[in-house]
Structure 1
Amino acid sequence: MKVWKTVLATLVVSGLVIGLAAAGVVYSGAYNVGANAKHWPITHWVLTAAVHHSVEQHAADIKAPELGSEQQLLAGAANFDAMCSGCHEPPGAKPSVAAQGMYPRPPNLAHAGKEMSPGEIYWVIKNGIKASGMPAWGASHGDEEMWAMTAFIQQLPDMSKTDYDRLLMTAKADGIGHHDGESHEDGHGDAGHDDGDEHADGGHNENPSQSDSHDDAHAHG
């Protein structure tokens, strides 16, 4: 019994010391919250693991409808271009000026199309990611629109700039989805296309590799 009391007292004291130390860091302003300063490795690991497992858990029971129709892809492409391309570069484009200054960097969503299930992609689109630049589009868009963007993102790994431009032109001609120049409060802005680069990697942090951009989903879904 005496041993357990000693262990418990040690844990309590250790917890208090850690809590006071954390409070000291917070109130002293020592922690640099600037977007040009990298996370501490432990902070990066905790945030990455938390997002990965949270999305996986919350999306586990989501049943995706049939995806991939031409109408879905047209709506998804138009809405992606108007709402998302300011952060996530489309096929054949480099990261926007805004995305280059964000930390962690928003990922090229071609990675999400390969690595995430339709339910996980939909969940992130609908709910966003806390304390990041990824908004919860479910607050302003319906399920049909979000599933259309999910279907579009699934096609990104194999989509060329030519394919993307064709979808946008067809969607605009048919009046499908949001389009550049329209007035909509939830737009993210435009990303300039670069004909010389196919699938330019943005990454979700300073390293634009596929694994790092996926791991850094704590900033953008």
Structure 2
Amino acid sequence: MSLCRLEKVSKNYEMGEVVCPLNKVSLTVEKGDFLAVEGPSGTGKSTLLYIMSGLLMPSGGEVFLNDHNLHSLADRKVTELRRDLIGFVFQETNLFQALTVEGNLRFAQSVGKGKKPDEAKIALFLEELGLSARRSFLPSQLSVGQRRRLIIARALINDPQLVLADEPTNDLDEIWAGKVMGLLAGVIQRGGAVVMVTHNSHWAACANRRYLMQEGRLVMNDKA
């Protein structure tokens, strides 16, 4: 059973003219996969992740999560499936500004499969990502890199089977970027999968499959 499968997925937008960032894209993600998607800005890479997660519905084609066709599910069921299966590393900050660093992680755990917060696990993530001393800070009180690391922690805190990471090493120096890539590799080691959008060819080389987004199509990056 695949974790995620796209069958001839397209997405169109009306922006004075019809814009098609995705054009009949097919892709299968199975346990143990580490995929990197590269390409210039504005070519549909983020749109691809949003559609894979069910946060955005395609204009055409089919999307499956754990072999469930999202078109056949009510919105509530799609939300539950996404909550139980996926950890999403957003490119833009989507932290709860009224909650502290620790509060953001505690909230993420409370909504993930209805779990009660695991204080030991929260402490571990704070330590691994260098946020222990900032646990009582609000996101507005963090540096850009610290906010990025908190976004990573919140996406991974519930041990998702599938991680969709949109430029996860943005705003990070090489040392912290390497630690984040180690955490993503850990998802693979425990039997999950990662799909990562990145402009960084060094980190893209960590993937076992590399793709280029070109004119709305996903093609293997054979030159990598």
Larger radius of gyration: 1
- Interval containing the TM-score (normalised by the shorter chain): under 0.3
Write 1 or 2 for the structure with the bigger share of helix: 1
What is the TM-score when the length of structure 2 is the normalising length? Answer: 0.27
Highest RCO, 1 vs 2 (Cα 8 Å, sep ≥ 6): 1
Q: Which has the higher strand share?
A: 2
